[in-house]
Every structure is written in structure tokens, then in C-alpha cells.
């Protein structure tokens, strides 16, 4: 009996070990990369990015790539492209929701978008922006908001703006709570009330030294990386040199440890006047998808009007002749003579159009 129980126990341990090695699941970076939990496996050829991977890249001077995305499709594209970090930014308020600033974005808004991106992006390190009003009141509020980002939003880390005293304390508290924090200095969009708008920073000695001091303070607070936004490249180069953690530039020149752009900006999805207004000058367009989208929508409209769509190719569902006749007879019995005639006319049109390219089985 004891021998049988021991063998059964050993078999269970062997099964557990194999599952642990073979089954991977998208999870937070502070958990093991291989777990016993099931779920869809990533189709990306690359392994999931963790802070250790970013540190290795930084130590070997390999540039770090980051893209800001807001939903499942964009998250999936970022994943497939092999991008290192996917930021779910509060700029979603401007890019997706049509606001003029990021200030209206709420924690609930961010969690909704974080969940969507997390479902699409298995490989990159996921970083969620803490929105305005979610971490300024106290360190307790900051930790609570950051915790929700991981527990509810499925993020690996959080990003917060600013490097002043209270922001540094918040970053330190979040880091000490076991949550990875990315800092953000230079132009901090949540602070436009005091900055006087979306203005570049670090363009005089005092401002440049403040950018440096804020970055150093955030590093001391435990941040694993710093975003440098809209500062002159010599200032970004100096900050990058002074820090011992990676810098991610956005409108900060080529001397940072990595670069980030917004998904919609780099793809050229900006045909509406609002997009032109909120698209930054430093963003490079790698495609002109806005024109492609407009052309496709216009073609759809024209084909619907001309009744070219749907064609037989896009009308795959058929009903058997016997069932069709029975349906027409049932309509006649109800006095729906016009509907019965419509059934017959549609059936004749389907028959003359030929079989659809994609066939579906009849019930």
C-alpha cells in the first residue's frame, strides 16, 4: 500500500514538473515565467520580456523599444513586432477618446484599456500609466492605484509623471510595495496646468538641472527606467549618462537608452483634424494607414450604394431547397405573400450567382 501511494505521489510530481516546464501564461514579471496554469500560448517567437531582459539590454548598450498602445488589436500587433515594452498610456484620453488633454482620464478608463492590451500582448513588458488624480493625494493612494494596475489591469509595472518631492515619495512607496515603477520627467502632460501647456522642458540651465535632479531622485526612489519627454538631445544625453538605469526618449533625441512612440502616431492614423492637433512634431510616420482606412471605408460605402457588396463570395450561408419551400409555404399561410415572393426571388438570385467560395454545411 505504501509503495503504491509513493509511486502515485511520484507520478503526480512528475506531471506537475512537466506542466511547469511546458505551459506558459501571460503574467506579471514578478511571477515565474513558467507556471502550471493553462491558457493560450503566445504565438510570438520571442520570450516574455522581464526587467532582467531590460537590464541585460541596458548593460550591453542594446537600444530598448517601447510603443504606446491602447486596445487588444494594437497590443497584439506590438507583441508580434517584437517590441520590448508596451505602454498603456493615459494619452488614450487624447488619441482614442478625443479629449484635448490627458486630465479627464480616470482609473477605470485605464483599467479597461490595460485589460484589453494585456489580452493581446503576451510577450512585451506591460506598463500602465497612473492617471491624473490616482496617486497625488498620498503614498497610500499611490500604492493602492498601482496595486489595481497589476491585480485588475494585468500590468507588469506602472508609470507615473513628475520628479518632485511628493512624486518621489509615491514612487518609493510603490517600489517598496513590490511594484516596478517607471518614472517620467521633462514634459509631463498631467502637469500642463503649471507648465502652461504642452511645452518642451530643459531649454535653460535651471530647467535642465531640474530635469536631471528629478531623474536622479526617481532613480534613488527605485524606478527601473525613466521616460524623457520633449527635452533637447544634449540634456537627454547628460541625464542618460548620469543615471544607472535606462532612459526612454520621446522627442528627446537619439542619445537615450531606448525610444517610444504612440501606435497611432507612428502608423499615420491621423486624418481627422483632432489627430493633426494632438500628433507631436517629433513623431515619425512609418506608414500612412489613415489614407488606407479612408480609402477602404469609401470603397465600402460605394459598393453598398451600388449593391456590389455583398457579392456571392460574401454570401456563404445557404438553405436547402426543401426547407426553403417549406419556409415560403409557412409565410403564405400567414398571409405574408410579399415575404414568400422575396424568399423565392432571393433563392433564384443565389442559384444564378453560383456557389459561394466559402461553403458552410446545411443544418
Residues designated catalytic: 229
For residues 306 and 124, what is the distance between their CA atoms, to the nearest angstrom? 45
Given CA atoms 38, 40, 41, 42 in this order, what sign does their dihedral have? negative
Instruction: Name the H helices within 101-204.
Output: 107-120, 139-151, 165-176, 192-195
For residues 135 and 78, what is the distance between their CA atoms, to the nearest angstrom? 28
For residues 143 and 149, what is the distance between their CA atoms, to the nearest angstrom? 10
Asked if residue 78 lies in contact with residue 54, where contact means CB atoms within 8 angstroms, the answer is no
For residues 105 and 113, what is the distance between their CA atoms, to the nearest angstrom? 11
Given CA atoms 116, 101, 239, 281 in this order, what sign does their dihedral have? positive
Cell numbers for 312: 456571392
Asked if residue 155 lies in contact with residue 128, where contact means CB atoms within 8 angstroms, the answer is yes
Question: For the chain, how many residues are written?
Answer: 363
Non-local (6+) Cβ contacts of 59 within 8 A are none
Amino acid at each position: 500500500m505504501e509503495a503504491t501511494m509513493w509511486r502515485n505521489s511520484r507520478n503526480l510530481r512528475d506531471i506537475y514538473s512537466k506542466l511547469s516546464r511546458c505551459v506558459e501564461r501571460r503574467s506579471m514579471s514578478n511571477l515565474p515565467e513558467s507556471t502550471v496554469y493553462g491558457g493560450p500560448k503566445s504565438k510570438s517567437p520571442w520570450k516574455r520580456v522581464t526587467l532582467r531582459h531590460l537590464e541585460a539590454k541596458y548593460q550591453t548598450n542594446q537600444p530598448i523599444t517601447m510603443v504606446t498602445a491602447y486596445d487588444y488589436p494594437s497590443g497584439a500587433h506590438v507583441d508580434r513586432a517584437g517590441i520590448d515594452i508596451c505602454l498603456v498610456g493615459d494619452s488614450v484620453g487624447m488619441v482614442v477618446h478625443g479629449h484635448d488633454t490627458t486630465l479627464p482620464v480616470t482609473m477605470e478608463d485605464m483599467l479597461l484599456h490595460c485589460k484589453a492590451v494585456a489580452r493581446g500582448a503576451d510577450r512585451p513588458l506591460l506598463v500602465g500609466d497612473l492617471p491624473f488624480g490616482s496617486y497625488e493625494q498620498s503614498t497610500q493612494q499611490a500604492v493602492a492605484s498601482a496595486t489595481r494596475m497589476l491585480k485588475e489591469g494585468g500590468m507588469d509595472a506602472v508609470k507615473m509623471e513628475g520628479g518632485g518631492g511628493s512624486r518621489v515619495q509615491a514612487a518609493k512607496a510603490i517600489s517598496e510595495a513590490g511594484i516596478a515603477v517607471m518614472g517620467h520627467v521633462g514634459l509631463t502632460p498631467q502637469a500642463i496646468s503649471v507648465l502652461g501647456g504642452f511645452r518642451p522642458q530643459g531649454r535653460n540651465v535651471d530647467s535642465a538641472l531640474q530635469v536631471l535632479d528629478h531623474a536622479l531622485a526617481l532613480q534613488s526612489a527605485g524606478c527601473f527606467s525613466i521616460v524623457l519627454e520633449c527635452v533637447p538631445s544634449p540634456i537627454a544625453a547628460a541625464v542618460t549618462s548620469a543615471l544607472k538605469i535606462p532612459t526612454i526618449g520621446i522627442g528627446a533625441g537619439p542619445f537615450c537608452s531606448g525610444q517610444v512612440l504612440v501606435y497611432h502616431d507612428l502608423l499615420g492614423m491621423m486624418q481627422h483634424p483632432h489627430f493633426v492637433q494632438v500628433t507631436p512634431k517629433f513623431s515619425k510616420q512609418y506608414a500612412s494607414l489613415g489614407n488606407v482606412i479612408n480609402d477602404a471605408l469609401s470603397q465600402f460605402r460605394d459598393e453598398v450604394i451600388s449593391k456590389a457588396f455583398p457579392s456571392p463570395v460574401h454570401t456563404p450561408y445557404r438553405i436547402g431547397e426543401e426547407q426553403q419551400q417549406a419556409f415560403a409555404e409557412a409565410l403564405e399561410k400567414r398571409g405574408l405573400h410579399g415575404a414568400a415572393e422575396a424568399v423565392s426571388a432571393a433563392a433564384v438570385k443565389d442559384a444564378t450567382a453560383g456557389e459561394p467560395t466559402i461553403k458552410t454545411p446545411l443544418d
